[in-house]
């Protein structure tokens, strides 16, 4: 059987068959010494069909080499199924972020509204550990590990449902995440320190819904600082970020930025 014939039967290009030959994935049954024409047998058709199936399922050609002779395929295919499911979830989350970004582009710019309000005193559990904060490759910070430590240390799952918010209070030296939770001050914890945040008379606040790794967060930061400059107000404390944790089904987060400022314009 000539290369053109098996290519037509299996709906693959002769060029790809030559490539499979060159990498040792599917060698022809015979190669003519004079013309270098490749000859295949009908017994090789099921092998080629299996190669094409594995390729369609997302396996690389290197992986397919070992799969061809694998007698027990179910564990390998189950693992590939899990990988594809995770990839789908990742792509769905990326699609959701893209849709949000497209909606904003139709408005030509990010639309923000600044509100001035007082921030009440809060009893919080404080955890000072920068190593728990991971950096996204595209920018922004991942605080999921931080939340896991809080849940374990404060035993939140047995005390009450996990709180819906986290304070992220940036100082000049290091970030200090604050988990909102009305706990007893006398209780001792392995990592967390219980303390009270003082009330703030006035703070410029802005809400942003999206993902803290996208450029919308930087736009929100810039807009809020520009608002303070425009009104000639001076920040009296570090900016606070309040993350309202959404369900696992949603990859978007409602984030409130808060900047305490003085009661009178700066001179």
Residues 207 and 222 in one domain: yes
The pTM of the full predicted model, rounded to 2 decimals, is: 0.49
How far, CA to CA in Å, does 19 sit from each of 12, 60, 174, 205?
A: 11, 14, 55, 60
CA atoms within 13 A on the CB side of 132: 16
Instruction: Indicate whether 100 and 124 sit together in one domain.
Output: no
Last residue of a domain, one of 62, 93, 108: 108
Q: The CATH number of the domain where 211 resides is what?
A: 3.20.80.10
d(CA 124, CA 110): 32
**239 and 132 together in one domain:** yes
Summarised one tens digit per residue, pLDDT across range 197-210 is 789 999 999 988 87
Of the two residues 162 and 195, the one the predictor is more confident about is 195
| 174 and 134 within one domain | yes
Task: Say whether both 141 and 175 belong to one domain.
Answer: yes
Is the residue at 266 inside a domain?
A: no
One domain, residues 38 and 60 = yes
Establish if 267 belongs to a structural domain: no
Tens digit of pLDDT for each residue in 152-191?
A: 766 655 555 555 556 655 543 334 445 555 554 445 666 6
Q: Count CA within 13 A, CB hemisphere, residue 77.
A: 11
pLDDT tens digits for 54-107?
999 999 999 998 888 888 888 899 999 999 999 998 888 888 777 766 766 655
Contact 179, 154 (CB under 8 A): yes
- pLDDT class for 132, splitting at 50, 70, 90? low
Count Cα neighbours of 150 within 13 Å in the Cβ-side half-sphere: 30
Q: Does residue 117 register a pLDDT over 90?
A: yes
Residues 70 and 160: their CA atoms lie apart, in Å, by 50
Whether the CB-CB separation of 21 and 7 falls below 8 Å is answered with no
Domain with 62 in it: what CATH number? 1.10.1660.10
137 and 159 together in one domain: yes
Plot region of 123 (φ>0 → left; ψ -120 to 50 → alpha; else → beta) = beta
Our count of domains for the chain comes to 3
* Same domain, residue pair 140 and 51: no
pLDDT at 69: 80
Residues 211 and 199 occupy one common structural domain: yes
Structural domain that includes position 11: 3-70
Whether residue 25 is found in the same domain as residue 153: no
């Amino acid at each position: 059987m000539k290369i053109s014939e098996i290519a037509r039967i299996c709906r693959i290009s002769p060029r790809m068959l030559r490539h499979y030959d060159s990498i040792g994935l599917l060698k022809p049954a015979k190669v003519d010494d004079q013309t270098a024409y490749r000859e295949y047998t009908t017994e090789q058709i099921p092998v080629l069909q299996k190669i094409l199936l594995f390729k369609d399922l997302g396996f690389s050609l290197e992986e397919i080499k070992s799969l061809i002779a694998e007698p027990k395929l179910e564990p390998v295919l189950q693992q590939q199924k899990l990988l594809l499911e995770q990839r789908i979830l990742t792509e769905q989350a990326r699609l959701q972020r893209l849709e949000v970004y497209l909606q904003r582009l139709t408005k030509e710019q990010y639309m923000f509204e600044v509100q001035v309000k007082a921030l009440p005193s809060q009893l919080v559990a404080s955890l000072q550990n920068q190593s728990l904060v991971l950096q996204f490759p595209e920018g922004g910070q991942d605080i999921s590990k931080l939340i896991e430590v809080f849940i374990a240390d404060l035993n939140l799952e047995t005390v009450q449902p996990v709180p819906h918010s986290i304070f992220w209070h940036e100082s000049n030296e290091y970030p200090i995440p604050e988990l909102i939770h009305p706990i007893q001050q006398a209780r001792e914890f392995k990592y967390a320190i219980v303390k009270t945040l003082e009330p703030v008379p006035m703070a410029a606040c802005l809400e942003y819904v999206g993902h803290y790794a996208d450029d919308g967060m930087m736009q929100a930061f810039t807009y809020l600082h520009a608002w303070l400059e425009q009104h000639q107000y001076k920040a009296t404390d570090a900016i606070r970020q309040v993350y309202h944790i959404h369900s696992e089904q949603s990859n978007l987060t409602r984030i409130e930025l808060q900047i305490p400022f003085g009661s009178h314009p700066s001179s």
